[in-house]
């Protein structure tokens, strides 16, 4: 009795070398002399299992290995085993030149707000440099710099009017530019003047608070401007503004006002708790 030897598949189209750009998809293809259900794939002699990165396509005589999102670390040998027959080829990966894939866009925020600039690059592990009005800035209390994969964020906190200008992200000779516009917030008096009762020859104080620093404040006595002097001390401390009247006497009894922008607050000064300012009503 004679037995015919088992017929096995041969390669009619063996593997060929593949060269791709980093982050693209590589495809290896073989064709066999006869259909088989499946074949075994290897990367640098380690067997490959199908997953999100590697996909197998088995179609009778034609079999494919798809390598997705190729990285430079994927470069090496790819082999396929069919029975006792093997075909091998090389995967070559061309590294991407660092570049921006999402441009910066202009940002407009109100005073005291937070401005965020976002850009995206074509690969992870890249370092960007950020510039505000041509000066490089680093992560600190004012500026925050974040990297999340390919996404880079630059945050400016507690934005003031002088922060308006050009913001630049630089990446190995390439750059993205955007403009920060700061909208001025109308000044408001958030703590009004209050009526004061003081003893004669004591110091008296009128204090108000506004919603933003670096504003011009005008003090008035019976609607007439007050200038800084030994008698009248004008004190500015951020958003708090104080008028201190030294050695208070009867001549100081009056209505005092503070004017900030188009806002005004007024209060009366009384000496030793006595009503020293007469109010006349027109009775008809």
The per-residue pLDDT for range 38-55, each reduced to its tens digit, is: 899 999 999 999 999 999
The answer to whether 12 and 49 are in contact (CB under 8 A) is no
Alpha-carbon gap, residue 107 to 56, rounded angstroms: 46
Phi, psi of 162 (to 5 degrees): -65, -15
Q: Which one-letter DSSP state was computed for residue 185?
A: P
Cα–Cα distance, 110 to 101 (Å, whole number): 29
**Measured between alpha carbons, how far is 21 from 95 in angstroms, rounded to an integer?**
6
Distance CA 149, CA 166 (A): 25
CA distance 247 to 198: 10
Q: Could you write out the DSSP letters of every residue in 87-134?
A: EEEEEEEEPPPP-EEE----EEEETT--EEEEEEESSTT---EEEETT
Question: Which pLDDT band, with edges at 50, 70 and 90, does 212 fall under?
Answer: confident
Q: With the C-alpha atoms ordered 255, 259, 262, 266, is the resulting torsion angle positive or negative?
A: negative
pLDDT in tens, 72-98: 999 999 999 999 899 999 999 998 889
pTM of this prediction? 0.60
pLDDT band at 173 (very low <50, low <70, confident <90, very high): confident
All residues at 6 or more sequence positions from 230 whose CB lies less than 8 Å from its CB, including other chains = 246
Residue 202 has pLDDT above 50, yes or no: yes
β-pair partners for 27: 66
Domains of the chain: 11-94 (2.60.40.10), 100-183 (2.60.40.10), 189-271 (2.60.40.10)
pLDDT of residue 277: 42
Confidence (pLDDT) at 213? 85
pLDDT value of residue 7: 67
């Amino acid at each position: 009795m004679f037995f015919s030897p088992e017929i096995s598949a041969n390669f009619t189209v063996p593997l060929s070398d593949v060269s791709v750009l980093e982050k693209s998809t590589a495809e290896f293809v073989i064709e066999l002399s006869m259909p088989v259900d499946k074949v075994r794939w290897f990367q640098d002699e380690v067997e490959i299992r199908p997953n999100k990165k590697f996909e197998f396509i088995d179609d009778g005589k034609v079999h494919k290995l798809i390598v997705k999102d190729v990285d430079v670390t994927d470069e090496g040998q790819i082999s396929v085993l069919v029975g006792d027959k093997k075909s091998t080829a090389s995967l070559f990966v061309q590294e991407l030149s660092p570049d921006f894939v999402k441009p910066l866009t202009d940002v407009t925020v109100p005073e005291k707000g937070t401005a965020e600039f976002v850009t995206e690059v074509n690969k992870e592990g890249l370092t960007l440099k950020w510039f505000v009005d041509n000066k490089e800035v680093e992560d600190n209390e004012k500026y925050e710099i974040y990297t999340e994969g390919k996404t880079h964020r630059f945050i400016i906190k507690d934005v003031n009017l002088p922060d308006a200008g050009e913001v630049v992200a630089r990446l190995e000779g390439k750059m993205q530019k955007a403009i920060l516009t700061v909208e001025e917030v109308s000044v408001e008096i958030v703590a009004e003047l209050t009526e004061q009762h003081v003893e004669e020859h004591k110091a008296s104080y009128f204090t108000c608070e506004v919603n933003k620093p670096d504003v011009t404040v005008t003090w008035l006595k019976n609607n007439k401007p007050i200038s800084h002097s030994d008698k009248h001390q004008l004190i500015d401390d951020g958003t708090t503004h104080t008028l201190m009247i030294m050695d208070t006497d009867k001549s100081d009894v009056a209505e005092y006002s503070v004017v900030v922008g188009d806002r005004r607050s007024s209060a009366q000064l009384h000496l030793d708790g006595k009503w020293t300012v007469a109010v006349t009503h027109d009775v008809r």
